[in-house]
Structure 1
């Protein structure tokens, strides 16, 4: 199978997966609140609870990925995603709606980045770092496409009907693509037709000495969890946040810059970042995100400042999406990658699950400015966590392996 075909197929399914299961929520949430007679805080609190339970399911999904293959798990996930969207759309009341949201977040762990990254590692471990960068480059358009798509659909359809349309997308596009990838992963490796999987996979060894891995893993999980809190808090509330700061009709324009900025960061990394350690990229990503929040806080409601915020935040978020997949591979290797990434995803989602409710609560009780400041402080702690991994990486001792250049092959 040609690598570019794999990445292209996964890129399409990631755009649809993130667009339908995640980015659409902030557009549809006000209508959901009206239908269920809930405040915005309670609606986003339901999302937080769903994210929490989805995070708890992630390690179990990671073990299934290692045991059965990421392609098969993602195929099942496409069906689950469609069923969850339908369940949410047809929910007769609040309790059924919350269970539908929980199903959506559990299905997300089957089909979004963690599973897609694992598929790339399982197919070609030595080239996975570069493939992950290419994948996130394509998937970065999810918000740019699905915020306006969701808004346009919602102008003519109810939120329930929009979810039903999105369920069809997961069944009609994502399921066939994931099933095709699953069949390709089961083909015998070695000589064969040009479309078959190329050469047997050579595992990647982690660069960290085993004695340093527990503390490095704890620091990495902490950094990713806090970054995800910042990302979820701002992204879920992006348009309401900008409107509250006085941007008004320009909020949608500012929001649409986020996706291209993500793509720009990934393209820049692909062209110029090949020689940088992934932990350095993690530090850069973690620094950009709180810096963006402070930039917005200091310049609102100035439009140019808001546009700069969207670009800087998108750059940080774009790099973060890459290093969530490449840093665990660089530090710990490809053996057990699916389960390891599932554990990272679990903690990351559990922590970030509080973000939608917490940010909405802070905006309502102490104001938008304080909400942004608290979020920036969380992001700053993530910077310190990744700097700790830098120190561990540079403190070489007897028996430490040489750093790997994983991006050498493609």
Structure 2
């Protein structure tokens, strides 16, 4: 099992660093080189995330049946080819087509299939394995942000993406093909715990809605934090440090998840994390200073974000076991990914009508609070007697 975890740690750092984080360094160069507005440039990246969310649902079914080796190897190949196609884009139609393919590949190379692999193969040790994976995965920006910045200075964005595509192919394709060869036996489940039955149950629907709402609030804060702190009078440098230290808080949050999981029930843990998110967001929205207090609040918000990642990764298996994890996690991850993709846009749009970032943070806190209230109504089992009836139109 250690070899599989090592492979996934390597490929998640590489995948996140190239497929996801490199864009943050290259978006301005893309806009400057092509003449496209930053809005259109970023829209391509957002499109990829939305496509990833939609594709993640059928990918989850494939994961349950065939395992991660096929999915992640194919995803790595597609990601590498798609990034090469992106470098040849000279009009927006080709640009968006390339990002659409990258979005498909995201569903096969990022956390969803890796979580499914560790949940299936690690058994009772899945929390330790998932914690390790997300801790190492958090280093993706640390490794690839400076590498991407160094490359783009001399090569430009197109050549930089070509180099990164080669790195992605050389590292992840053989790692997934040769490193994920463990036997994969689809896990049997009773009719009562069939994925279709669970997916139609009231507890599952409420869980999906609550996780998506909490993710909306939590991930909006990441993007809106620097503008908020600037409104509070902090310098850009201090605000950047606050955001960076929030990443440190995220690491500590993930390290503490095993302790939290051992001492709390699944429903209480879910509600508690979402309420903690609401509290930290309220503090950021209400406390005007000093800078040290705002930085401390940012660290706490980062810790909650770190815990939330593992809460999402274990939400299905903690309630209904590992059988059908890929399909159910895909159903839960799809709206969460969409909400995370649109939340920064919504937060920025709200600034003008409600009068600045502090009120926006209070709105986000209210969203997290409602998410906690909905999570309080989620149970640990979904039986055939507690499912939504879907009527034909």
Instruction: Measure, in 1, the Cα distance between the counterparts of 2:290 and 2:141.
Output: 23
TM-score (norm 2): 0.83
Moved more, 92-101 or 353-362: 353-362
TM-score (norm 1): 0.79
Alignment correspondent of 2:62: 64
Q: Deviations over 1:250-288 (max 9, x none)?
A: 344333223322221121223454232333332233233
CA contact (8 A) 1:50 1:353 kept: no
Q: Deviations over 1:48-79 (max 9, x none)?
A: 33322221111111111112211221111111
Q: How many correspondences in the alignment?
A: 381
Corresponding residue to 2:367 among 367, 370, 378: 378
1:158 aligns with 2:159: no
1:80 aligns with 2:78: yes
Instruction: Measure, in 1, the Cα distance between the counterparts of 2:46 and 2:372.
Output: 24
Matches within 5 A, 1:308-347: 308-347=296-335
Alignment correspondent of 2:19: 21
1:255 aligns with 2:253: no
Cα 1:169–1:240 change in 2 (3 A) is farther
1:110 aligns with 2:108: yes
1 or 2, which has the higher helix percentage? Answer: 2
Cα 1:84–1:247 change in 2 (3 A) is farther
CA contact (8 A) 2:4 2:180 kept: no
Corresponding residue to 1:223 among 196, 210, 217: 210
Instruction: Measure, in 2, the Cα distance between the counterparts of 1:272 and 1:326.
Output: 13
- Tell me the secondary structure at the aligned position of residue 183 of structure 1: coil
CA contact (8 A) 1:205 1:333 kept: no
Can you give the 5+ residue segments of structure 2 that lack an aligned partner in the other structure?
386-393
CA displacement at 1:375 relative to structure 2 = 2.8
CA displacement at 1:164 relative to structure 2 = 2.7
- Tell me the secondary structure at the aligned position of residue 92 of structure 1: coil
Cα 1:303–1:327 change in 2 (3 A) is same
Cα 1:146–1:291 change in 2 (3 A) is farther
Instruction: Measure, in 2, the Cα distance between the counterparts of 1:171 and 1:348.
Output: 28
Q: Deviations over 1:13-50 (max 9, x none)?
A: 22222222223333433333434444444444443333
CA-based RMSD of the aligned residues comes to 3.5
Corresponding residue to 2:30 among 32, 39, 42: 32
Alignment correspondent of 1:269: 257
Can you give the 5+ residue segments of structure 1 that lack an aligned partner in the other structure?
187-199, 400-410
